[in-house]
Structure formats: C-alpha cells, structure tokens
Structure 1
Amino acid sequence: MKNKNYKAHLALLSANVIYGMNHIVAKDVMPEKLGPTAFIFIRILGASLLFWTIKHYVKETIDKKDYFRLAVCGILGIAINQLLYFHGLNLTSPIDASIIYTAVPVLVLIFSYFMLKEKITQTKIFGILIGGTGALLLILYGNKNEGTSTLLGNALIFSNAIFYAFYLVYVKPLMKKYHPITVISWVFLIGFVFMIPVGINDVISTDFSAFTLNTYLVISFVVICTTFMTYLFNIYALSKVPPRVNGSYIYLQPLVSFIMVSIYAYVLGNKEYAQDITFIKILSSILVITGVYLISQNSNKRIKTT
C-alpha cells in the first residue's frame, strides 16, 4: 500500500465495515419498533439534510437535460433500491444479505457491458458465472426456512443489488460531469420526494413513544454512518485509487456480518441467529467472493462488444 493512499484504503475499510455492521444493526429495530418503509423515509430525509448542508459550499448548477437522469437515479437508485434492501433485511438473515450484496460488482460489470459497451474478458465471464451461482444458491436456500433466512427476503436483497448496480452504472456520466456532492445531494432529494407519498403514512402510524435509546442510536447509525459517511468515504477513495480496489473491499462485508452474527448467537445467546451459520452459506460466500475476485482481475483476452 502506497503511503500517499493509506487514507483512501482506511476510508474504504471504514465504509465496508460499516456496511457489514449495518446488515445486523438495522435489522435490530425492524419491525418491532420501526417498519422498513418508515425507516427508509427517515433515512433518506436525514441523509438529504446532511448532504444539502455540504452542498451549500459546492456552487454548481445542473443542466436541464440532466434532470431526467438525476430523477431515474433518485427514484431507482435511492428510494426503490433502499426500500427493497430494508424490506428484504426485515425478512431474512443479515448473513444472507451481506453475501448477496457482495454480488454488486458482478452486476455492475454486466450492466457496464450492455449500457456502456465496456469490454469484458473471458476471466470476468467465468467470474460472473461463479458469483451468480453462489448468489442463486443462497437465494434458493432461503426457502429452507432455517434461522432467519427466507426466499422472499433473499430475493428482495438480490433485487436491491440489481437496482444499486444499475444506479452505479447509470449515474457514472453525471459523476464525470459534476462534483459528486452535487450529484448525491440531488439524487437523495429526488429520492425523498418520491418517498413522501410512499412512506408518509407509515411514518405517521409509527409509535415513536415506544422508541428506546437503542432505537434512536440505530437510526442515527444508519443515517449518519451507513448513509452519509460511507458515501463520503467512497467518493474520497474513488478520487485516490482505481474502482477495482474499491470493489475488492466489499469482501469484508460478509466477514463482518459473520462475526457479528456469531457474537449475537454464541455470546449473547440468540438461538435463532445460531442457525444462520451453515455450510451452504459459507459455500455461497466463497463462490460469490471468488466471482468478484475474478472480475476484478486484468486480462488481455477480451470479448468485444457488438
């Protein structure tokens, strides 16, 4: 690791440890204290306020022709994407969510091939097949109903990964044209506007009087750490290191989730979580991580796009 890039690597490490923790931290208050839709409403509102506070110092205007792309990114990449994730997490295991989410780099490669006409190598195709097999194995395994895993929850998490991967590719031209803070501020604002009719009733019906200190701490963690800080960490890292380095840190998320679930299961005595660590999940994790590793490798044998 080059000394001048150690801050970028520290930022990536921090972001992915936070992501890995979020898979179990966010689930801790759903649905007993806060429903998934209301949680997303609060998350996007809080993050929007934080991003627009920073945006005040970034003086930049958006071309009218780019508002449609911003709207698509805000609705699909922020609102719908996060709704799928939280509803999926509400129904399935944190370990399942972290492993399936690791497939994002594989999906980004697929979308980049079709949407941006980026070249793809034979090694990367092999990586897609292996990673896809691991994700599919885990999704279907959710039907076994062991621990906190469910087929529907896993399917929603995978749908979330698809939307997020699409967002990462579709937002790329905007990131090249404008300051990242400008783009993120707008997509979160648009995502929040979309969430008003979708989530306002859930927020109104939420019993805030039942919230404990832990509930508020979890919400604060998701808004400030999982959303605001991780976006800033990733923006900073991408300005210092290649995207493939950024993608490689996603390997940490299943590891962090495995550790946290193990603590819940074997230290805190949560019997339900104890059933979440199985051979199939470990195998799925290995397959997905292997697939992501292969697509991050450089190769001279390329398949040309049409």
Structure 2
Amino acid sequence: MKKLDDHTKALIAVLLAVVAGGGNAVFTKIALREIPPFSSIFLRWFIAFLFVLPLFLREKPKIDKDFGYAFAVSTFATINIVMFAFGVRLTSASVSQMIYAGVPMIIAILSYFMLKEKVTRQKVIGLIVGLAGVAIIIFSPLLHGGLDLRASVIGNFLIFISTISFSLYTIFSKKLQKKHSPVYVLATYIINSMIVGLVFGLFDFVTSPGWYLHISMITVWSILYTGIFGAFLFYLLYQYAIKHGTPVIASMSLYLLPIAAFIWASILLGEKLTPGFILGSILAFAGAYLVTKKPAPTAYS
C-alpha cells in the first residue's frame, strides 16, 4: 500500500477535525446558558485533560524549560477560549464560527512578519477581500438592527480578538513541533486552560451562587461534547495538521466549520441567516481561497 505523504495526512486531519468540532460553537453556547463562562472552561478542559493524560504520560515527557515555554505559548490559546466563551454569549453561534474563517488570513499576515514568508499579489487581494468579509460579519448587527445590537457587536469583536490570539498560537505551535509531539503541545494547552478555568471559576460561586444546582441534561451533554470532541479531538487533530502540513493548511478546518456550525445552530438554536452574514461569508471564503491556493508568480518580499 502506498504510504501517505505529509500533505495528505494534514488534509485528512483537517477533515476529521471538522467532523469532530463542527458543533463546538453551538454546544458551547448551550452550556453557557446555565454555566458561568470560567466554570464552563474548567469543566470542558478538565474532561479533555482526562483524555489527553494517558497519551501524555505514555510519552514520558520531561518537565523542563521547554515545558515552561510550551506552557507560555499555550497562553495565547487560553486567551482565545476565554474571549470566545464571553463573546459567543453575546452573538450567534453561526457568526462566531464564521469570524474564525478569518484565521487563515491572519496567519498569512503574521507569517509574513514572523516567519518572513513572501506575500504574493494574489494573497494581498485575498487578505483585503477576506478581511472585508469578516468586518461585515462583525458589524452585521448594524445592518439589521435588533434589541441586542450593542451586545452583538461587542460579542463579535471579542470573537475577533480570540481569532488573533488563536492565530499566534498556531504559528508558535509549528515552532514547538520541531522538538515536541502534537500530544505534548496539546497537553500544555489543556493544562493551561484548565488552571485558568479553575482559578477564575472560583469567583463564579460568588457571582452566580448555586449555578450547579440547576443543570439540565442538554447542558451536561453539551459540556461532554465540547470537552471530548470540541477540545480534545479537535485540537489534537489540529496539531497533527500543523505537524504534517503548515499553519495555513491546519487553519483550513476553519473554512468548513462555519457550515457545520450553521447546521447545528439552525437545528438546536433556531438561528437564521442574515444578508450581512451571507455577504460577509462569501467575501471571507473568497479571500481565504485566494490566500491559500497556489500563489501567482509575482511576489512582494
């Protein structure tokens, strides 16, 4: 049997990641109806920790300065999930996931400055078109109004901040994987997020006392989903895609996640498409396509 090359392995990991994490935004939003943000973060990543721990210990990792550096890098990912947890409560699951489609474009920009990668004319056009699309999605509440207009814009902006943080984490992850496995990199992320969720989650018992006494089964299933599929499996596959491909290839999963997110959101949350969302999505996908397709010959260094 012909052995799969790294590019194919990366694409397979991307597709599996989409299958695993497609409902993450929706189930996170459902869980946040009854569980405060930081407590939700702790529960989600504690579940992920239970799954990654056996794999992590199997590698017999050394807790040295490299672990400290990996732990520091994972802070970008933790900021991402904190901003997402607060942002998704104020906006729709579909919009929140669509904003993440801008991650490949952000990575392309950061790669130019941090990894000294060349930017082609095609990528420049793609970045402009794609970022315009993401901007339309972020401010789409202004186009159709509504009682939660201000909250929606704030929520969209928080999600945008989380995409920048996640993009930085993706680039640094590629550097980490020169010496460490995807499991090692993921484990530091999970431990970091779990600690942050635990520490700040203690304040939830003051601001939202007794929240744990009123948990429905849909919330329980939502936390289990986000912990097992949305955290452990998705990010493990994402790290494998980075290892066998590039940060941009790995972030391709974020092009497909909005489609899965909208299907889940329409079924479970009754969310509807808006003109601003449709227009912004078309531009974001077009921009992402231009950024990631084979570059044209002319380049700017």
TM-score (norm 2): 0.86
* Contact 1:98/1:254 (<8 A) preserved: yes
**Aligned partner of residue 140 in structure 2, secondary structure:** helix
Question: Which residue in the other structure is 1:85 paired with?
Answer: 84
Question: Which residue in the other structure is 1:53 paired with?
Answer: 54
Give unpaired runs (5+ residues) of structure 2. none
Do the aligned partners of residues 102 and 35 (structure 1) sit closer, same or farther apart at CA in structure 2, a change above 3 Å counting?
Answer: same
* Contact 1:37/1:83 (<8 A) preserved: yes
Deviations 1:31-85 (A, max 9, x none): 3x11222111212222233222211111232552x3553233232222x210101
Does residue 231 of structure 1 match 2:235? yes
Q: CA deviation at 1:301?
A: 1.8
Q: Distance in 2 between matches of 1:264 and 1:171?
A: 34
1:281 paired residue among 272, 277, 300: 277
Give unpaired runs (5+ residues) of structure 1. none
Amino acid at match of 1:73: V
Q: Distance in 1 between matches of 2:75 and 2:147?
A: 33
Question: Which residue in the other structure is 2:139 paired with?
Answer: 140
**Aligned partner of residue 203 in structure 2, secondary structure:** helix
**Aligned partner of residue 252 in structure 1, secondary structure:** helix
Q: Percent identity?
A: 29
Q: Distance in 1 between matches of 2:187 and 2:36?
A: 25
After the TM superposition, which of the residue ranges 280-289 and 243-252 deviates more from structure 2?
243-252
Question: Which residue in the other structure is 1:207 paired with?
Answer: 211
After the TM superposition, which of the residue ranges 35-44 and 69-78 deviates more from structure 2?
69-78
Q: Distance in 1 between matches of 2:205 and 2:284?
A: 36
* Contact 2:27/2:223 (<8 A) preserved: no
Q: Distance in 1 between matches of 2:118 and 2:9?
A: 31
* Contact 2:86/2:155 (<8 A) preserved: yes
Does residue 262 of structure 1 match 2:266? yes
* Contact 1:17/1:252 (<8 A) preserved: no
Does residue 296 of structure 1 match 2:285? no
Question: Which residue in the other structure is 2:102 paired with?
Answer: 103
After the TM superposition, which of the residue ranges 175-184 and 223-232 deviates more from structure 2?
175-184
TM-score (norm 1): 0.85
After the TM superposition, which of the residue ranges 171-180 and 103-112 deviates more from structure 2?
171-180
Do the aligned partners of residues 206 and 166 (structure 1) sit closer, same or farther apart at CA in structure 2, a change above 3 Å counting?
Answer: farther
* Contact 1:47/1:228 (<8 A) preserved: yes
Deviations 1:110-158 (A, max 9, x none): 1111122222211111111111101111111234544977101100111
Q: Distance in 1 between matches of 2:148 and 2:190?
A: 31
* Contact 2:170/2:247 (<8 A) preserved: no
2:21 paired residue among 12, 16, 19: 19
Q: Distance in 1 between matches of 2:242 and 2:76?
A: 22
Question: Which residue in the other structure is 2:45 paired with?
Answer: 44
Question: Which residue in the other structure is 1:120 paired with?
Answer: 119
What is the number of equivalent residue pairs in this alignment?
Answer: 292
Deviations 1:183-229 (A, max 9, x none): 22123223333333322222673522211222111100000000101
